[in-house]
Structure 1
Amino acid sequence: MFIGLLAPVASGATAWDSPFVGVVAVPLAAGEFERLYRALAGKLFDDPSFLRALSND
């Protein structure tokens, strides 16, 4: 039933300067993940085919 429903693929990439030391690198990576997640979620919710798939029509 759901085969092909989410066939399109959204992708993103990001890069940031970070030292190898985990105490600094991990919080920076977590913050970057949140920014990237928001960007990808924004792409998804801006996609008309996704919105049509969510509708009950």
Structure 2
Amino acid sequence: MTKMWVSFVGIGLMALAAVLISLARHKTKGIVKFLVSSIAFIFLVIGGFLGFISIT
């Protein structure tokens, strides 16, 4: 049961990362674009790590 919730959080973080990357590419410029992209990358890495944990 716990692995299910961990995987849901991982999927949610990856989806949020995709939305943030789209937002950064189309709506922002300069340092804000870099910050939003960096946050999205961190969410993607954490989401992937949680997805890996839920598999093992």
TM-score by length of 1: 0.52
| Structure 1: segments with no counterpart, 5+ residues | 1-11, 49-57
Choose between structure 1 and 2: higher helix proportion: 2
Q: 1:13-44 CA deviation, whole Å, 9 max, x = no partner?
A: 6122231x221100110011111111110011
List 4+ stretches of structure 1 deviating above 4 A. Answer: none
Larger RCO, structures 1/2 (Cα 8 Å, 6+ apart)? 2
TM-score by length of 2: 0.52
> Structure 1 residue 38 and structure 2 residue 46: aligned?
yes
Q: After the TM superposition, which residues 6-25 of structure 1 pair with which residues of structure 2 at under 5 Å, given as runs?
A: 14-16=18-20, 17-18=23-24, 19=28, 21-25=29-33
Identity of aligned residues (%): 14
| Structure 2: segments with no counterpart, 5+ residues | 1-13
Give the aligned CA root-mean-square deviation in angstroms.
1.6
